[in-house]
């Protein structure tokens, strides 16, 4: 079944390659700096991600069908486990030299799609780059389980891991919506006077569900996610909740005394304006952080790693940060 899925996905990419070549012959490039490979992959993600669907559940199925088996699968052990009542998957490098630190990773997907399966390749690359065990929980998603279900699950998993591993050996992180969940976990730990993690990694974080205009409009011609897509997903997750709630849009949270943060976003993604604003608030509130802006890249460009060297290379910096934070 996995092989058939891989063949279907590669055929779709092949079709987008042909379309990219024809468009370029006609002088129509999506972005002047992109290679043929990058443009082909962005076209494929845009057409196959389910962003055009008004049905979040249909979009979820599309995302699951798009996932390719990881070429690095043989380098890790994968185990299905439940932590804090939340199912998920552990990814750990084979033959570790002693006990490994933990990276708790919250997957992206607009709070309605994504899973430990769709993010398996990402998790494997994180485990290898940071030489750590990675747990990706399958937290509840909208529209079946809207806010605050995902936040409750995220807190429950972190609390469960605190019972197994010292906090200074845990880093939390996430991509897109998962980046926001990682921030909320840190803020809740601080407010509850629980031990906070050693650091947090936020990749293309969706930190403001109230945002309008700006890069949400002018980067839509480049990005594989669409403004209408995130509106549909946001509505499915909110179910009438206030999008300015700091547990939903952590750009409005008190950010002081959070652990050191690693923040990265793509120059061509819809969320770049809000990420820049968020980083400005980190500076204003004197939160230790490092920020990297990825030239000419779309949202969550880490998913292009199986095909693009520039995407594979980004994991080196993430791994370095994780190793530094856990000593």
Residue 59 lies in a domain: no
> Any alpha helices (H) in the chain, and if so which ranges?
2-25, 36-48, 56-66, 120-130, 149-162, 177-191, 215-218, 227-238, 272-284, 309-325
- Same domain membership, residue 86 and residue 42: no
- Same domain membership, residue 84 and residue 2: no
pLDDT at 1: 46
For 240-250, what is each residue's pLDDT tens digit? Answer: 999 999 999 99
Residue ranges for the chain with pLDDT beneath 50 = 1
For 169-179, what is each residue's pLDDT tens digit? Answer: 999 999 999 99
**List 107, 119, 188, 299, catalytic entry:** 299
Q: CA distances (Å), 27 to each of 31, 32, 68, 155, 283, in order?
A: 11, 10, 31, 50, 42
Q: CA distances (Å), 308 to each of 34, 114, 212, in order?
A: 11, 21, 31
pLDDT at 50: 60
108 with 177: CB under 8 angstroms? yes
- Same domain membership, residue 74 and residue 32: no
Q: 107 catalytic, yes or no?
A: no
Residue 237 lies in a domain: yes
Ramachandran angles phi, psi of 138, nearest 5°: -90, 75
Residue 169 and residue 155: Cα distance in Å, rounded?
17
Residue 193 lies in a domain: yes
C-alpha closest to that of 66 among 181, 189, 198, 224: 224
298 with 269: CB under 8 angstroms? yes
Residue 58 lies in a domain: no
Q: 249 catalytic, yes or no?
A: no
pLDDT at 5: 56
pLDDT at 205: 98
Report field, pTM of the whole predicted structure over 0.75: yes
- State the total domains in the chain: 2
CATH for 255:
3.40.50.1820
**List 70, 176, 204, 249, catalytic entry:** 176
Residue 73 lies in a domain: yes
Q: 289 catalytic, yes or no?
A: no
Residue 63 lies in a domain: no
Q: Can you give the residue range of the structural domain that contains 5?
A: 1-48
Cis peptide upstream of residue 48 (ω within 30 degrees of 0): no
- The sign of the CA dihedral 67, 78, 135, 121 is negative
- Same domain membership, residue 103 and residue 42: no
Residue 57 lies in a domain: no
Residue 227 and residue 233: Cα distance in Å, rounded?
10
């Amino acid at each position: 079944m996995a092989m058939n899925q891989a063949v279907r996905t590669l055929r779709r990419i092949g079709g987008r390659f042909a379309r990219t070549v024809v468009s370029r012959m006609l002088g129509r490039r999506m972005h002047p700096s992109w290679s043929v490979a990058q443009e082909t992959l962005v076209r494929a993600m845009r057409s196959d991600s389910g962003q055009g669907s008004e049905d979040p559940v249909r979009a979820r199925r599309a995302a699951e069908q798009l996932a390719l088996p990881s070429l690095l699968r043989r380098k890790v052990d994968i185990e299905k486990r439940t932590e804090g009542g939340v199912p998920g998957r552990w990814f750990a490098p084979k033959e570790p030299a002693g006990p490994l630190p933990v990276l708790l990773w919250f997957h992206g997907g607009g709070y309605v799609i994504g899973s430990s399966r769709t993010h398996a390749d990402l998790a494997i690359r994180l485990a290898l780059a940071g030489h750590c065990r990675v747990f990706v929980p399958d937290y509840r998603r909208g529209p079946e389980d809207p806010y605050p279900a995902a936040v409750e699950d995220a807190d429950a998993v972190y609390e469960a891991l605190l019972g197994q591993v010292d906090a200074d050996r845990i880093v939390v992180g996430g991509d897109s919506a998962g980046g926001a969940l990682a921030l909320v976990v840190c803020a809740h730990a601080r407010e509850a006077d629980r031990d906070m993690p050693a650091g947090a990694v936020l990749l293309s974080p969706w930190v403001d569900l109230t945002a309008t205009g700006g890069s949400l409009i002018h980067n839509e011609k480049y990005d594989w996610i669409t403004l209408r897509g995130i509106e549909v997903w946001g509505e499915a997750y909110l179910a009438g909740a206030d999008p300015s709630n700091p547990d939903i849009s952590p750009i409005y949270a008190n950010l002081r005394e959070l652990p050191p943060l690693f923040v990265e976003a793509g120059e061509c993604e819809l969320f770049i304006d809000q990420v820049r604003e968020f980083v400005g608030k980190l500076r204003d509130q004197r939160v230790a952080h490092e920020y990297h802006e990825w030239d000419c890249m779309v949202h969550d460009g880490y998913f292009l790693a199986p095909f693009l060297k520039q995407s594979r290379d980004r994991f080196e910096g993430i791994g370095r940060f994780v190793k530094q934070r856990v000593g």
